[in-house]
Chain A
Amino acid sequence: MFTALFNFFLSNQLKNRKTLIVAVAGIIPIFIVFLVKLLQPFISSGETSISSFYPNFTFLLYLHFLVPIIALFLGTGVIADEVEDNTLQYLLIRPVPRFLIVFAKYLANIFIGSLVIISSLLVTFAIAALGSSESLELGLSFLIYASGTFILGLSVYSALFTLLGGTLRHPMVIGLLFVFGWEKLITYVPGNAQYLTIMNYLQTLYPVSNSGSLSFLFCEISTMTALLVVSVLLFIFLGIACYLPGFKEYR
């Protein structure tokens, strides 16, 4: 039953306009890296060497921007799109529990989102590494950890936005406020407020130095704590998002 649902959502999502927009979003970093590479001979500081430039670039552009945006875009539509398009009725009359419908679509979205982000990451890495001798050693371990963090980030943010999409009337607006309001502004609040953001835990897992120019973004958390917190949040958000439709009516 789950396989049938997952296949259905995957088939449908792959041809969806939203997926196309997500794919276009994945091209943005490629374009930027290409531009940087093109302008490298004219930049005097040498900051564009792969070891110094690439981790910070991916940290800011992928983790802080692309991951939450793609999660917001896909997550809020898990239930809301079906309700809006009036297609949910085709699914609700099948002999499958409602939570499975949400879960299958959520996973199909994670699959698509991850595919876009990882593909984009690999292409940007290839462009950045072009003609650089130091690339391979940094590359393999970095790419594995970065990809893992992105998928985890995509999962936890998508779970939150799936929940918002299933409960709120304007989930996209609330989601945008959360991503670019709460998650960003709280970084500048003194004290321990950073512990209240998801990004705080995700960036702890990210393979980038926390002693450089981005050090103000970090607070002291162990990798294990960060992993545990993100996992618990993911479990809670996704659990509620899947549980709610069982009691909700969709007109």
Chain B
Amino acid sequence: MSIIKIGNLTKCYGQVIGINNISLSIEQGVTGFLGPNGAGKSTLLKILTGQLKPSQGNATLWRESIWNNFKLNKRIGYCPEHETFYPHLTGFNFVSLMVRMHGFSKSEAKDRALKAIETVDMSEAKDKRIGAYSKGMRQRIKLAQAIAHDPELLFLDEPLAGMDALGRREIIRLIKNWGSQEKTVVVSSHILHEVEEMTNSILLINHGNIIAEGDIYEIRRLIDTHPLQVTIGCDKPNLLTSKLLEHNDVLSVQFDRDRSEVCIQTTQPEDFHRRLPRLALDNKISIFSLQSPDENLQAVFEYLVK
């Protein structure tokens, strides 16, 4: 069942179109909104959290319109992009006061705040003023306020911004974990490998339009006119090259400096991958490595936004 449904949604800011007539549905699990800065990701998240009203079309969560429907907020958590806070409050006070607004008693709010703070590994700094936090710590406390009331649906806007490598890894692990706990997590980012590490289910957004959606590999198939790059390390690169060039889908071949690897471009990736093992066996070519650097989000994204 679709948790989030958007139908012909348009959002205009005066003359500027923020979101341009998009329709989509999102199911349980982790979904990544991917796009450059200013693509419309945050606008979409703000519409989905009821902060902005659609200019046209509709946005529903569990089949209920989110605009002016504050009761739905009980079931959602939101981690905003901007690093804005009440700097005089301590991290613990901030989270527990926010949780209390979900109708929890003082003691329950305290327990939930402590648990959420522990989840994001901020227990040691919980009694410091937020104003004295580092960027990474602020990011964590933003996450804590989003998860403390145990929402079914989480919207995380650039959740890894400003975090160190260890912190990123930990938050990515948490996000994947939430996704596997029958929760729905929508993560927006402009950094491709971040989203790639969290999920295969993505939505590529640019200039307020969805330019592709679905599994990363499905998206790859959608753009079959865009050649796939494959690097093959083998013991007989010249022979492999000549055999590969017998097929029309192979557009170009390049050797690396020591001629141990061949980089080819093919317009039929699936046929190519099917053909390669047979070709190697028939010609007694030993393949040491097979890489497709092109098959990451960066390549797909760069190609699609061109």
Contact = CB atoms under 8 A, between A and B. Distances in A.
A and B from one assembly?
yes
Interface of A: 1, 4-5, 7-8, 11-12, 15-16, 85-87, 89-98, 246-247, 249-251
B212 to A, nearest CB: 27
B89 interface: yes
B229 interface: no
B75 to A, nearest CB: 9
B299 interface: no
A235 B196 CA distance: 54
Contacts of B71: 95
Contacts of B73: 93-96
Contacts of B97: 4, 7-8, 11
A96 B97 CA distance: 13
B100 A15 contact: no
Contacts of A246: 68
Interface stretch (B44-52, B177-185, B238-246, B261-269): B44-52
Contact of B51 (A92, A96, A247): A92
Contacts of B68: 246-247
Given A12-B86, A12-B88, A94 B101 contact: yes
Contacts, number: 77
5 contacts: A93-B73, A93-B76, A95-B102, A96-B73, A251-B46
B172 interface: no
Contacts of A90: 80, 98, 145
Contacts of A89: 46, 51, 78, 80, 82, 84
Interface residues of B, number: 32
Nearest to B94: A90
A12 B89 contact: yes
Contact of B85 (A15, A87, A95, A251): A87
Interface in B106-135: 109
A91 B94 CA distance: 12
B93 interface: yes
B53 interface: yes
A233 to B, nearest CB: 28
Nearest to B73: A95
B303 interface: no
Nearest to A87: B84
Given A93-B49, A93-B76, A249-B52, A16 B103 contact: no
Contacts of A95: 70-74, 101-103
Nearest to B47: A249
B54 to A, nearest CB: 10
A87 B68 CA distance: 19
A247 B68 CA distance: 8
- Which of A12, A90, A98, A247 counts the most chain B CB atoms within 10 A? A90
Given A4-B100, A8-B101, A93-B50, 18 more contacts: A7-B100, A8-B97, A11-B89, A16-B88, A87-B86, A89-B46, A89-B80, A89-B84, A92-B49, A93-B49, A93-B76, A94-B73, A94-B102, A95-B72, A96-B101, A246-B68, A249-B51, A251-B13
